[in-house]
Amino acid sequence: MTEPDFSKIETAGCPAGDAGRDMILRMNREHGPLRAWGFARVPFGRSVLDVGCGAGAALRELAERYPEVELTGCDISPLAVETATALNEDFVKAGRMRFLQCGVPDLPFADGAFDTVISVESLYFWRDQVAGLREIWRVLAPGGYFATALEMAGGAMNERQLAIVEYLKMRCPDLNELRTLLVEAGFADVTAEFEPVHRWLRASGRK
């Protein structure tokens, strides 16, 4: 196994600096298939929040697909918020999209503020995953829908991925663990699915 270049990913939990910018821009480009698969069945409502939005590719895709949807992205990284705002300047200026520096479990939104919440490749880094999911449950409207997509699945990673997980101290649930996390957080109608070719995970639930 070729040892991963940890210098390129060492700020993955909170991207910073030139390496962090390169990483989130690369994720914008490379995670398109993961986003497409992860959110293929999501019934998007009129207001959407992306938790851990990175450089904002997921919201841009939604803005282009659903012209009536109001979109909010949040990330604990100032660099991610700055980059996402710049890359989506047209939608931000049009009042359809906004980006804030914040994260779970302390989201600065009212109870029931969003119809849909999504998260891509973020849950690994949350200090308390159940508390983070409960906060997402709080900001969802009654009947609202949450979905997450993850590239690394517990128990199904290659040596390189395992080295990255160990170095970054990521907490990567397997299929059953991910389902249990959503149930413990209070979600109903929870589903979780493992994609065996790429070894991806997706899960969803309703408030």
Give yes or no for residue 1 having a pLDDT over 90.
Answer: no
Check residue 6 and give its pLDDT: 80
**Residue environment code for 24-55, b if the CB has 16+ CB neighbours within 10 A, otherwise e:** bbebbeebeebbeebbeebebbebbbbbbbbb
pLDDT 10s digits, 170-201? 999 999 999 999 999 999 999 999 999 999 99
Domain annotation covers residue 145: yes
Check residue 118 and give its pLDDT: 98
Give yes or no for residue 3 having a pLDDT over 70.
Answer: no
Could you give the dihedral angle defined by the CA atoms of residues 22, 26, 27 and 32, in that order, rounded to the nearest 10 degrees? 160
What CATH code is carried by the domain that includes residue 177?
3.40.50.150
Domain annotation covers residue 80: yes
Total structural domains within the chain: 1
Name beta bridge partners: 119.
148
User: Rounded distance, CA 134 to CA 192, Å?
Assistant: 17
Domain annotation covers residue 30: yes
pLDDT 10s digits, 119-149? 999 999 999 999 999 999 999 999 999 999 9
Phi, psi values for residue 100, rounded to 5°: -130, 150
Radius of gyration of the chain (CA): 16
Domain annotation covers residue 1: no
Average pLDDT over residues 82-86: 98
Domain annotation covers residue 200: yes
| Length of the chain in terms of residues written | 207
3-state percent breakdown (helix, strand, coil) of the chain, nearest 5: 40, 25, 35
Q: Is 122 exposed, middle or buried (0-12, 13-18, 19+ CB in 10 A)?
A: buried
Find the domain containing 13 and state its range.
6-206
